[in-house]
Amino acid sequence: MTKIEIVSMIQQKILEDSTKSKSQFTQKNLMLILDTFFDIVKDGITNGEHIELRGFGTFERKIRETKRAINPRTKESIVVEKHAVPVFRPGKELKEFVRNSIG
User: What is the secondary structure of 1-42 as a DSSP string?
Assistant: --HHHHHHHHHHHHHHH--S-GGGG-HHHHHHHHHHHHHHHH
| pLDDT digits 0-9 by tens, 26-44 | 888 889 989 999 999 999 9
Domain extent at residue 78: 3-99
Number of domains in the chain: 1
Number of C-beta neighbours around residue 7 at 10 A: 21
Does the pLDDT value for residue 98 go beyond 90? yes
Cα separation of 32 and 15, whole Å?
18
Does the pLDDT value for residue 49 go beyond 80? yes
CATH number of the domain that residue 8 is part of = 4.10.520.10
Supply angle C-alpha 57, 98, 49, rounded to 5.
10
Flag whether the pTM goes above 0.75. Answer: no
